[in-house]
């Protein structure tokens, strides 16, 4: 499976709202997209997530669910 680094930037005043949604619904990953690990820098309002999939189009489905609170950049890892 191919690995990806996801850079998640929380929109202004949305860090806590994002966490509330996560606590209620979890990551809401579509089948075939897998979370491996993450690192949060709350002071910078950013999260780095290591993920993997063989279907990169699944990122669009997943990020759509979080777009109210977060902006995403997805980088393939070679």
Sheet containing strand 33-41, strands side by side: 33-41, 46-53, 2-10, 70-77
pTM of the entire predicted model: 0.87
Residue 64: predicted pLDDT:
94
Residues 6 or more apart from 6 whose CB is under 8 A from it? 48, 49, 50, 51, 59, 72, 73, 74, 75
**What is the rounded average pLDDT for all residues in the chain?**
92
Domains and CATH numbers, the chain: 2-77 (3.30.70.1060)
Per-residue pLDDT tens for 14-32?
Answer: 878 877 888 898 889 999 9
- b/e 66-77 (16+ beta carbons within 10 angstroms → b): beebbebebeee
């Amino acid at each position: 499976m191919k690995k990806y680094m996801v850079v998640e930037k929380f929109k202004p005043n949305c860090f806590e709202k994002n966490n509330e949604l996560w606590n209620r619904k979890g990551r809401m990953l579509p089948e075939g997209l897998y979370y491996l690990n993450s690192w949060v820098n709350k002071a910078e309002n950013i999260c780095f997530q290591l993920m993997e999939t063989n279907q990169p189009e699944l990122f669009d489905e997943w990020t759509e669910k979080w777009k109210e609170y977060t902006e995403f950049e997805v980088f393939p890892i070679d």
